């Protein structure tokens, strides 16, 4: 069965510090991987996606993610966190062929302190 | 930049009442989805829709739910007789036709059933 695990429910980092949010997936076919961000009361905004090619992908707002097939992971990183990055982050997996439902992880809530 | 829109942003209803949630997908998209997110939980797939029919649905999408594309722009989710446990944020998403299409999400409708 398809699944996404985000092991960290809540992470707190200092502004300016680096960030890594973990995501592990289980998917029977070639995965199509996403990170979405949800600010309080808002919808889901796509940060970045990966389907093939370079395993390090760049997204918006200075985020990047690295796909590691051997570890079934797709961790999200940012070298220097800003207070505005405080939000809920969701990892999701879909079919490489597209047009199929996404399976989401439970999310990681990021808090940023001064 | 085109975006998915949803109305209303918030809806409060009494248990047993019917509600219709509305979505306007991105205009040239052909695949449409509804997801829901119960407070504090992960985003869950409800149903996908293509070519004027349901293409896939989850176990959550029982006989109380229905979807419709009444015209060329709107995509609706109807809950016939709401239950307390239907209280959630409902997201509409759409993507174009082709492989590796990204699903774009609307801002959501927060439904509260009393």
Residue A70: what are its φ and ψ, rounded to 5°? -65, -25
Comparing CB atoms, the residue among A46, A90, A102 nearest residue B45 is A102
pLDDT of residue B70: 86
B106 with A105: Cβ contact below 8 A: no
The set of residues, in sequence order, having a beta carbon less than 8 Å from that of B26 and lying 6+ positions away, is B2, B3, B4, B94, B96, B104
Is A6 or A96 the better-scoring residue by pLDDT?
A6
A106 with B33: Cβ contact below 8 A: no
Chain A interface, Cβ < 8 Å to B: 32, 34, 36, 42-46, 49, 51, 90, 92, 94, 96-107
SS3 label, residue A61: helix
pLDDT at A103 over 70: yes
- Write down the mean pLDDT value for chain B: 92
Sequence length of chain B is 114
| DSSP H or E segment with residue A78 | strand A73-78
Extract the tokens encoding A37.
């961000």
Biggest CA–CA distance in chain B, Å, is 42
* For testing contact with chain B, the best of A37, A98, A107 (most B CBs within 10 A): A98
- C-alpha B32/C-alpha B24 separation (Å) is 10
pLDDT at A97 over 90: no
**pLDDT category, B1, cuts 50, 70, 90?**
confident
* For testing contact with chain B, the best of A3, A9, A31, A99 (most B CBs within 10 A): A99
**pLDDT category, A52, cuts 50, 70, 90?**
confident
- C-alpha B59/C-alpha B44 separation (Å) is 10
**pLDDT category, A95, cuts 50, 70, 90?**
confident
- Write down the mean pLDDT value for chain A: 92
Is A79 or A39 the better-scoring residue by pLDDT?
A79
pLDDT of residue A40: 81
Mean pLDDT, rounded, for A4-18: 96
Mean pLDDT, rounded, for B20-42: 92
Extract the tokens encoding B7.
């109305």
Cα–Cα distance list, B81 to A91, B15, B56, B113 (Å): 32, 7, 22, 10
Mean pLDDT, rounded, for A76-85: 97
Number of C-beta neighbours around residue B55 at 10 A: 15
**pLDDT category, A77, cuts 50, 70, 90?**
very high
A44 with B43: Cβ contact below 8 A: yes
**pLDDT category, B10, cuts 50, 70, 90?**
very high
- C-alpha A17/C-alpha A15 separation (Å) is 6
A104 with B58: Cβ contact below 8 A: no
Extract the tokens encoding A3.
């699944």
Q: Which chain B residues are Cβ-neighbours of A102 within 8 angstroms?
A: 35, 43, 45, 103
pLDDT of residue A4: 95
Is B98 or A56 the better-scoring residue by pLDDT?
A56
Candidates B3, B40, B111, B36; CA nearest to A101 is: B36
């Amino acid at each position: 069965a398809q699944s996404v695990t985000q092991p960290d429910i809540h992470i707190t980092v200092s502004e300016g510090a680096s960030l890594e949010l973990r995501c592990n997936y289980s998917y029977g076919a070639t995965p199509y991987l996403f990170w979405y961000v949800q600010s309080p009361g808002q919808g889901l905004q796509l940060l970045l996606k990966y389907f093939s090619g370079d395993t390090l992908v760049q997204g918006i707002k200075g985020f990047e993610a690295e796909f590691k097939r051997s570890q079934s992971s797709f961790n999200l990183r940012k070298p220097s966190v800003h207070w505005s990055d405080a939000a809920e982050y969701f990892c999701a997996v879909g079919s490489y062929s597209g047009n199929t439902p996404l399976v989401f992880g439970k999310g990681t809530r990021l808090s940023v302190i001064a | 930049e085109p975006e998915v829109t949803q109305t209303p942003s918030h809806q409060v209803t009494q248990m047993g009442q019917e509600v219709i949630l509305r979505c306007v997908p991105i205009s040239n998209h052909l695949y449409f989805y509804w997801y829901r997110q119960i407070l504090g939980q992960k985003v869950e797939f409800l149903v996908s829709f293509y070519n004027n029919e349901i293409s896939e649905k989850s176990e959550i999408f029982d006989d109380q739910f229905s979807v419709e594309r009444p015209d060329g722009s709107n995509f609706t989710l109807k809950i016939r007789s709401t239950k307390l446990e239907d209280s959630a944020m409902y997201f509409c998403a759409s993507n174009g036709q082709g492989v590796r299409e990204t699903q774009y999400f609307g801002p959501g409708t927060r439904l509260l059933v009393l």
